[in-house]
């Protein structure tokens, strides 16, 4: 025990200081620290230790640190300069391996930077709101089939009630979205308008470039986003200009532009195009009374004076929910829940109809791919560095002979690697900003979210990330080779007895991992592409090929209907409030047993036939008398467990409906989603929003042009909106672009593996030049040489493929499961494709070298200089 007291409290500290501090200072330093530790005995032990270590680390000062290795009085700066110089010369001297390393790393870094931009967006979205902690979205929790579902849409009067009943609520605002046509001079477009209370701009932080937020109080004012302002007015200040909102062909209203927002921060999930006072909602849907509890708004925000008051509101909300439910027929609100704006986006995956949104889980694809490419590039570097060390044996020997110790050699090679990484980072940023980010935005982000991701080059976090990448890649890829190289003994080097490189196990393991990763990414890419084709050709459950649709409203509907009914190419026409692939309404169906969530489509009597839905039993609607009839899909029967198909009655909105027909299952939305129980009911003419048109075979394009012309003639103030039903699920755009992106990255991986393998084989052949020449001189033919060169790699490839095939299969299957609810099983051809590509790579690389060796004269290789 006494012995222990004579040592420092932590042997680690002693060892650490002895390692870094000057020898002649160490005794007094350790003595003082020891005494300090002894004297602080009255403190609690953890505090004592922390203080002690604080003092220990504080000795990392210039006066106390010894210089790394050798004589510390020498200036190390010159040596560092020399390392840089030698590194540069090596880069120039071996253009091939420099090229492979820098290109590989820069691609990897470029992809990592795109992933960084995405994650940065993901973690900072909506954090710019000043009141992000005090503003909450009110959500309703509703009991559905035994589980609680959270809805972002709320009853209209909820905001008013919360404001009146709770003094802690300082501000409330409702948000309602609706489509509208905006007209300014000859510019007419369909837009999304956001109707809201004037508090919207106080609660959420959207500063205005021009105009005042208070103008939102005026129901005749409109506030534009910057993008909208530029779209309609160019770069001039539009304040005071008058625009028209066209609600239907017979009704339009003038609004004065009273504000233009500053450009929105990129990291946002909530914004607006046109902001209008919520009083105007009456103009859009005159039949809706927003003071009624049955009416719903898209979002209700509340702001508290103190965010901790939310607990009080949560505890006392119970009694109001009771009366809230009484006023409604079937809403079964069990509770209210409040989501702070700061975390709303991250929670939005679990909230139905949330005003905000969360990135889908496939967002992790990009970081994972970035990491895979980075690993491949790093392994390339390690393999090349180890193999090419042969050429530098003499240099290392010389350095060691004139006094470099192991540490110095390690530092030299790490410096070299950091320099390469720095070049790669510069090239990587250029690649990312000029090529990958625009491309990625074009393919994915613009499509998904309607805005561009950008690298915030001036952001501190970006530079910290960059520094981290340089250090991690630099050290991860450089540490092993430098340790490996520094291990050689001088005497062995000069005696020529250092043997390595030809059969390095680690090199092979790295190559193995590279091949497996490449195979997986290739298979996933190909499987995705194949799946797109599969989805395009698979049945949607109805006839999407020869159908056109037009967005309209009930006044325009009748006129347009009458006009195109005459068209010779039109086979049949149907109107509807909802439309397959576009919109449905959530509905609740009651049987004697339970309540069920279903999709509801309100259509006219012609709709089902026009769309080509296949009747399984019963009948379609007839024009009159079917007001209380339902046509359902098979899934509906299956879910509700109704045995005999037609003739059954279910309860809906308090009245009974009879099932008159059953149609075969169909895909309402794209293949990401499961088929839901769906019901069709007859719609009121005044609610029609879509016109569906079945045309003669191969006349779709021709008819579409005619529709546009007819529409322009009838309604010059409203732009035509419509399309081909076959495009409505956006299968091609979505799946194809994502698949292309992944496949391209997979080919980057193939390129890197090829380059890496090429480098390895070249070095291997160079190292075995004499052996090969002797073989040739003794009569080896081309097959023999091929065997010698490619033999060890063939075994490696076969091993890799044996491991990679099942892994690739499971990875591709899991990835498709993540993306799609319905997809094709991963085909053997996808796996075969990746296997073939990899074998082709080996063949090509080996071929170049075999050709070189067999074409050379053995005497050249055997000559002694």
Partner 1 sequence: MEKEYIGEFEELILLLIVMLKDDAYGLAIRNELKDQANRNVTIGAVHGTVNRLQKKGFIESRMGGGTESRGGRRKRLFTITASGRKALERSRNVKLNLWQQIPELAVNKI
53 interacts with partner 1 by CB under 8 A:
no
Note the helical H segments in 547-633: 554-564, 607-611
Answer for which of 10, 16, 20, 29 binds partner 1 (CB under 8 A) is 29
Q: How far is the CB of 75 from partner 1 (least distance, A)?
A: 18
Q: How far is the CB of 73 from partner 1 (least distance, A)?
A: 14
Q: Can you tell me the distance from the alpha carbon of 416 to that of 423, in angstroms, rounded to the nearest whole number?
A: 11
Q: How far is the CB of 462 from partner 1 (least distance, A)?
A: 34
Q: How far is the CB of 30 from partner 1 (least distance, A)?
A: 6
8 interacts with partner 1 by CB under 8 A:
yes
Q: How far is the CB of 59 from partner 1 (least distance, A)?
A: 4
54 interacts with partner 1 by CB under 8 A:
yes
Q: Identify which range of 3-11, 89-97, 365-373, 712-720 contacts partner 1 by CB under 8 A.
A: 3-11
Q: How far is the CB of 8 from partner 1 (least distance, A)?
A: 6
What does the block give as tokens for 626?
Answer: 């079917």
Which has the closest alpha carbon to 352: 152, 177, 175?
A: 152
Choose between 41 and 322: whose C-beta lies nearer to partner 1: 41
587, 599 Cβ separation under 8 angstroms? yes
How many residues of this chain interact with partner 1, rule: CB under 8 A?
25
Answer for which of 10, 20, 64, 502 binds partner 1 (CB under 8 A) is 64
Q: Identify which range of 56-64, 146-154, 362-370, 562-570 contacts partner 1 by CB under 8 A.
A: 56-64
Q: How far is the CB of 25 from partner 1 (least distance, A)?
A: 7
Window 32 to 51, contacts with partner 1 (CB under 8 A):
32-36, 38-39
Answer for which of 1, 6, 75, 855 binds partner 1 (CB under 8 A) is 6
760, 514 Cβ separation under 8 angstroms? no
Q: How far is the CB of 28 from partner 1 (least distance, A)?
A: 4
Phi then psi for residue 513, to 5 deg, are -65, -40
Choose between 62 and 450: whose C-beta lies nearer to partner 1: 62
261, 226 Cβ separation under 8 angstroms? yes
What is the contact mask toward partner 1 in residues 256 to 295, using x (rule: CB under 8 A)?
Answer: ----------------------------------------
Q: How far is the CB of 49 from partner 1 (least distance, A)?
A: 15
Choose between 5 and 315: whose C-beta lies nearer to partner 1: 5
Q: How far is the CB of 408 from partner 1 (least distance, A)?
A: 26
Phi then psi for residue 291, to 5 deg, are -85, -10
Q: How buried is residue 526: exposed, middle or buried, by Cβ count under 10 Å (0-12/13-18/19+)?
A: buried
Q: Can you tell me the distance from the alpha carbon of 198 to that of 202, in angstroms, rounded to the nearest whole number?
A: 8
Q: How far is the CB of 33 from partner 1 (least distance, A)?
A: 6
Choose between 48 and 307: whose C-beta lies nearer to partner 1: 48
Choose between 32 and 771: whose C-beta lies nearer to partner 1: 32
Q: Identify which range of 53-61, 69-77, 98-106, 362-370 contacts partner 1 by CB under 8 A.
A: 53-61
Choose between 28 and 865: whose C-beta lies nearer to partner 1: 28
What does the block give as tokens for 199?
Answer: 């508090």
242 interacts with partner 1 by CB under 8 A:
no
Choose between 35 and 67: whose C-beta lies nearer to partner 1: 35
Choose between 9 and 722: whose C-beta lies nearer to partner 1: 9
**With the CA atoms of 327, 329, 335 and 338 taken in that order, what torsion angle do they form, in degrees rounded to the nearest 10?**
-80
86 interacts with partner 1 by CB under 8 A:
no
DSSP 8-state symbol, 432: I
Residue with tokens 């109805």: 542
CA atoms within 13 Å, Cβ hemisphere of 164: 6
587, 652 Cβ separation under 8 angstroms? yes
What does the block give as tokens for 104?
Answer: 């590989």
Torsion sign (Cα): 126, 132, 138, 143: positive
Choose between 45 and 778: whose C-beta lies nearer to partner 1: 45
Sorted by sequence, the CB contacts under 8 Å of residue 24 that are 6+ apart come out as none
Choose between 35 and 836: whose C-beta lies nearer to partner 1: 35
How many CB atoms within 10 Å of residue 135?
A: 25
Helix, coil or strand: residue 572: strand
796, 512 Cβ separation under 8 angstroms? yes
Answer for which of 25, 419, 433, 807 binds partner 1 (CB under 8 A) is 25
Q: Identify which range of 61-69, 410-418, 487-495, 661-669 contacts partner 1 by CB under 8 A.
A: 61-69
How many CB atoms within 10 Å of residue 638?
A: 12
Q: How far is the CB of 65 from partner 1 (least distance, A)?
A: 11
Helix, coil or strand: residue 553: coil
Q: Identify which range of 1-9, 297-305, 720-728, 743-751 contacts partner 1 by CB under 8 A.
A: 1-9
Q: Identify which range of 6-14, 573-581, 643-651, 851-859 contacts partner 1 by CB under 8 A.
A: 6-14
Q: Identify which range of 4-12, 186-194, 274-282, 426-434 contacts partner 1 by CB under 8 A.
A: 4-12
Q: Please report which helix (H) or strand (E) contains residue 479, including its range.
A: helix 460-486
Choose between 35 and 562: whose C-beta lies nearer to partner 1: 35
Q: Identify which range of 27-35, 184-192, 397-405, 443-451 contacts partner 1 by CB under 8 A.
A: 27-35
Q: Can you tell me the distance from the alpha carbon of 99 to that of 107, in angstroms, rounded to the nearest whole number?
A: 12
Helix, coil or strand: residue 631: strand
Q: Identify which range of 21-29, 243-251, 603-611, 795-803 contacts partner 1 by CB under 8 A.
A: 21-29
Q: Which residues of 33-46 are buried (b: 16+ CB within 10 A; e: fewer)?
A: bbeebeeeeeeeee
132, 356 Cβ separation under 8 angstroms? no
DSSP 160-216: HHHHHH-TTEEEEEEEEEEEEEEEETTEEEEEEEEEE-TTHHHHS---EEEE-GGGG
- Tell me which residues touch partner 1 (CB under 8 A): 5-8, 25, 27-36, 38-39, 54-55, 58-61, 63-64
């Amino acid at each position: 025990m006494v012995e222990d007291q004579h040592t420092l409290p932590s042997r680690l500290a002693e060892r650490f200081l002895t390692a870094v501090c000057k020898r002649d200072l160490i005794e007094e330093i350790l003595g003082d620290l020891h005494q300090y530790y002894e004297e602080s005995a009255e403190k609690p032990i953890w505090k004592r230790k922390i203080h002690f270590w604080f003092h220990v680390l504080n000795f990392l000062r210039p006066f106390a640190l010894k210089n790394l290795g050798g004589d510390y009085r020498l200036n190390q700066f010159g040596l560092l300069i020399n390392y840089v110089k030698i590194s540069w010369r090596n880069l120039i001297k071996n253009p091939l391996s420099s090229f492979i390393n820098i290109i590989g790393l820069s691609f990897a870094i470029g992809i990592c930077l795109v992933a960084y931009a995405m994650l940065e967006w993901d973690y900072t979205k909506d954090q710019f709101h000043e009141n992000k902690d005090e503003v909450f979205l009110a959500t309703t929790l509703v009991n559905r089939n035994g589980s609680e579902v959270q809805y972002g849409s709320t009853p209209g009067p909820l905001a008013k009630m919360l404001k009146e009943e709770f003094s802690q609520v300082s501000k409330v605002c409702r948000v309602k979205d609706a489509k509208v046509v905006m007209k300014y001079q000859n510019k007419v477009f369909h837009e999304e308008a956001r109707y809201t209370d004037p508090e919207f701009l106080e609660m959420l932080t959207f500063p205005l470039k021009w105009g005042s937020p208070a103008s939102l109080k005026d129901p005749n004012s409109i506030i534009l986003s910057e993008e909208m302002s530029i779209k309609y007015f160019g770069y001039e200040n539009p304040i005071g200009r008058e625009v028209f909102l066209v609600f239907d062909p017979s009704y339009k209203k003038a609004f004065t532009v009273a504000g233009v927002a500053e450009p929105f921060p990129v990291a946002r999930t909530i914004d607006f195009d046109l902001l209008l006072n919520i009083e105007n909602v009456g103009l859009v849907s005159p039949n809706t009374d927003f003071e009624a509890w049955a009416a719903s708004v898209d979002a209700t925000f509340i702001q508290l004076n103190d965010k901790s008051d939310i607990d009080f509101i949560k505890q006392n909300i119970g009694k109001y929910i009771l009366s809230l439910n009484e006023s409604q027929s079937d809403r079964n609100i069990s509770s209210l829940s409040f989501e702070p704006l700061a975390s709303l986006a991250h929670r939005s995956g679990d909230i139905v109809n949330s005003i905000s949104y969360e990135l889908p889980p496939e967002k992790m694809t990009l970081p994972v791919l970035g990491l895979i490419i980075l690993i491949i590039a790093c392994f390339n570097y390690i393999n090349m560095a180890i193999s090419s060390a042969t050429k530098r044996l003499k240099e290392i020997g010389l350095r060691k002979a004139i006094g470099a110790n192991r540490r110095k050699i390690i530092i030299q090679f790490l410096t070299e690697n950091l320099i390469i990484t720095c070049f790669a980072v510069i090239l990587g940023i250029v690649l990312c900003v000029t090529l990958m980010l625009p491309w990625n935005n074009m393919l994915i982000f613009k499509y998904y979210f309607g805005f561009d991701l950008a690298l915030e080059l001036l952001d501190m976090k970006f530079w910290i990330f960059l520094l981290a990448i340089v250090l991690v890649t630099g050290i991860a890829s450089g540490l092993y080779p430098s340790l490996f190289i520094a291990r050689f003994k001088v005497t062995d080097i000069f005696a020529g007895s250092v043997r390595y490189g030809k059969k390095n196990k680690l090199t092979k393991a790295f190559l193995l991992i590279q091949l497996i990763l490449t195979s997986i990414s290739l298979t996933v890419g190909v499987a995705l592409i194949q799946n797109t084709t599969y989805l395009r050709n698979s049945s949607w459950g109805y006839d999407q090929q020869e159908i056109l649709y037009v967005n309209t409203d009930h006044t325009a509907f009748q006129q347009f209907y009458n006009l195109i009914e005459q068209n010779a190419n039109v086979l049949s026409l149907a109107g509807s409030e909802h439309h397959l692939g576009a919109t449905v309404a959530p509905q609740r169906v009651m049987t004697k047993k339970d309540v069920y969530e279903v999709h509801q489509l309100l259509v006219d009597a012609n709709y089902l036939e026009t769309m080509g839905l296949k009747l399984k039993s019963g009948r379609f609607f007839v024009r009159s008398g079917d007001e209380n009839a339902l046509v359902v899909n098979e899934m509906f029967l299956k879910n509700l467990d109704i045995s005999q198909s037609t003739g059954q009655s279910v309860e809906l909105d308090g009245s009974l409906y009879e099932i008159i027909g059953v149609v075969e299952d169909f895909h309402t939305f794209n293949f990401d989603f499961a088929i839901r129980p769906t019901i069709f009911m007859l719609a009121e003419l005044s609610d029609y929003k879509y016109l569906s048109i079945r045309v003669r075979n191969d006349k779709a394009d021709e008819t579409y042009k005619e529709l546009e012309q007819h529409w322009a003639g009838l309604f010059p103030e409203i732009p035509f909106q419509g399309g081909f039903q076959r495009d409505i699920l956006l299968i091609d755009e979505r799946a194809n672009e994502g698949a292309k992106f992944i496949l391209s990255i997979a080919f980057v991986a193939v390129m890197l593996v090829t380059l890496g393998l090429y480098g390895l084989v070249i070095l291997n052949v160079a190292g075995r030049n004499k052996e090969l020449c002797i073989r040739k001189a003794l009569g080896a033919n081309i097959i023999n040489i091929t065997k010698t060169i490619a033999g060890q790699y063939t075994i490696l490839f076969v091993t890799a493929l044996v491991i990679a095939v099942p892994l690739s299969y499971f990875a591709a299957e899991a990835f498709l499961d993540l993306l799609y609810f319905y997809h094709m099983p991963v085909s053997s051809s996808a796996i075969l494709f990746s296997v073939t590509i990899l074998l082709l790579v080996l063949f090509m690389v080996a071929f170049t070298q075999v050709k070189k060796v067999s074409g050379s004269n053995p005497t050249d290789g055997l000559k002694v200089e």
